[in-house]
Amino acid sequence: MKDYEMVIGLEVHCELSTESKIFCGCSTKFGGAPNTHVCEVCSGMPGTLPTLNKRVVEFAVKAGLALNCEITRNNKFDRKNYFYPDLPKAYQISQLYLPICRNGHVDIETSNGRKSIGIHEIHMEEDAGKLIHDEETGMTKVDFNRCGVPLLEIVSEPDFRSAEEVTAYLAKLRDTMQYLGVSDCKMQEGSMRADVNLSVRVRGAEEYGTRTEMKNIASFKAIERAIEYERERQIDLIEEGGTVVQETRRWDDEKEYTYAMRSKEDAQDYKYFPDPDLMPVSISEEYLESIRASLPELADKKRERYVSEMGLTEYDADIITGSVALVKIFEQAGQKAGNFKDAANWILTDLLKFFNDAQTTPEDKPFDGDKLGTIIKMVNDGKVNRKSGKKILAAVFEEDVDPEKYADENGLAQVSDASAIEPAIRKVIDANPKAVGEYLAGNTKNIQFLIGQSMRELRGKADPMAVKDILEKLLAELK
């Protein structure tokens, strides 16, 4: 068999997290009762006019700048005409001729090192509604709530050569959008959807092979499986003397195969034309600069700074910057505790374990980083010991308790003043004449045993360092 190379290009749709839709004032909230976020504009009533939501332009420019694109200073909207029951106007407002962003790139890390993936363009468009097929009645219902929810479509160059590169890119896109606050990119809620264009060619060939397109695959894992399946299907086809047909195929993640949906021959001609109801969008230099100045620090920069300025390991910095919610927790906790390295340690050894055990993530379960910072400070100041600190953290994680109040109410405060510790230690010395005798005879290792007994007597609430000091002082008096 010849040596084949896979070529992939992605079209990724991200739903923008604006409050209202792209051309009307309706809410974009996910999951409302069907047809409750709808007005005459987004339900396509004749004679209504769209009004562009400024926020959408702002978010598109932010995304474009973060993905190293050129911003098209005069961009405009076009109508893409087709009929489908979830599209009441019978056209989608999109951008074909002059998309808002072009010629960008995203740098990804893979097991083969760093690679740059080209962004062909990013355009703004509106989402369609949803069809709900009711098995019981055999009827199909339509929900227009999603009609007019703003989307960015991010079109890559055909630069991917492996599934690993694809998932690294998608993760980077998701993180970037989340850092910018322009989209939450939740694949499971459909706010990030990827179409995978895939072809194969004999390695070294100059021309690309014919591609197929797999639409709207719903998770990273499913994308990996779909890519592997489609690669093999195309290679087998070519090896048997057949040819790949340019078509849209659907990936069935349960049965693990792709099947043809429609071929390019009967693909529709969308009869694009400039939307006559919308003015071209003109972006001034001042506007562009104000957006540029407002961009937050992104993952790459943060990772570098965490390592060089805060002394985190690359591995730790990688994990923390991989989640925007975790970054927030980390920065709040480090600030509050006055110690970022400790904040990273607590997050990586304790907090993430809580999230894993609860089968959730910092994105889905709110956690107050300030409170972690308070706990770290309490431990570092000797107010509670590490073990109690972990107990408090568990209570904050589960019930969002106030750390100091919780420590008081549960008697976790560490006893470190001598007057409280001394009587307990004297008791231990009296009860263990043998160990004390051996210690005094020179077997100083026995001190560990005596510390252990004292800690037990104090029910673990004492500062072990304070116990050791007092114990040594009292033993010295016996010499």
Q: How many residues bind Zn ion (CB under 5 A)?
A: 5
Neighbours of 8 (CB within 10 A): 24
* Residue with smaller CB distance to ligand ADP, 8 or 56: 8
Q: Is position 7 an interface residue for ligand ADP (rule: CB under 6 A)?
A: yes
Q: What is the DSSP string of 39-65?
A: -TTTTT-TT------HHHHHHHHHHHH
Considering only the stretches 1-9, 64-72, 79-87, 364-372, report the one whose residues sit in contact with ligand ADP under the rule CB under 6 A.
1-9
Considering only the stretches 100-108, 156-164, 430-438, 446-454, report the one whose residues sit in contact with ligand ADP under the rule CB under 6 A.
156-164
| Residues numbered 187-206 forming contacts with ligand ADP, rule: CB under 6 A | 197-199
Q: What residue has token string 């790139």?
A: 105
Q: Which does 75 bind (CB under 5 to 8 A by kind): Zn ion, ligand ADP, none?
A: none
What are the structure tokens assigned to 154, written together? Answer: 């991010």
Q: Which does 163 bind (CB under 5 to 8 A by kind): ligand ADP, Zn ion, none?
A: none
What are the E-state strand segments in 158-230? 192-202, 212-217
Q: Which of 69, 178, 171, 83 lies closest to 124, judged by CA?
A: 69
Question: What CA dihedral angle connects 82, 84, 85 and 91, to 10 degrees?
Answer: -20
Q: Is position 26 an interface residue for Zn ion (rule: CB under 5 A)?
A: yes
Candidate list 34, 44, 158, 322; residue touching ligand ADP; CB under 6 A = 158
**Nearest-angstrom CA–CA distance, 114 and 468:** 52
Residue 378, phi then psi, degrees to nearest 5:
-60, -40
Considering only the stretches 4-12, 39-47, 278-286, 346-354, report the one whose residues sit in contact with ligand ADP under the rule CB under 6 A.
4-12
| Residues numbered 39-68 forming contacts with Zn ion, rule: CB under 5 A | 39, 41-42
Answer positive or negative: Cα dihedral of 56, 59, 64, 67: negative
Instruction: In angstroms, give the least distance from the CB of 100 to Zn ion.
Output: 22
| Residues numbered 210-249 forming contacts with ligand ADP, rule: CB under 6 A | 211
Q: What residue has token string 């332009």?
A: 57
**Nearest-angstrom CA–CA distance, 34 and 380:** 53
Plot region of 257 (φ>0 → left; ψ -120 to 50 → alpha; else → beta): beta
* Residue with smaller CB distance to ligand ADP, 157 or 472: 157
**Nearest-angstrom CA–CA distance, 99 and 87:** 22
| Residues numbered 12-51 forming contacts with ligand ADP, rule: CB under 6 A | none
* Residue with smaller CB distance to ligand ADP, 99 or 148: 99
Instruction: In angstroms, give the least distance from the CB of 185 to Zn ion.
Output: 23
- First CA to last CA distance, the chain: 86
Q: Which does 24 bind (CB under 5 to 8 A by kind): ligand ADP, Zn ion, none?
A: Zn ion
Q: Footprint of ligand ADP on this chain (CB under 6 A)?
A: 7-11, 155-158, 197-199, 208-209, 211
Q: Footprint of Zn ion on this chain (CB under 5 A)?
A: 24, 26, 39, 41-42
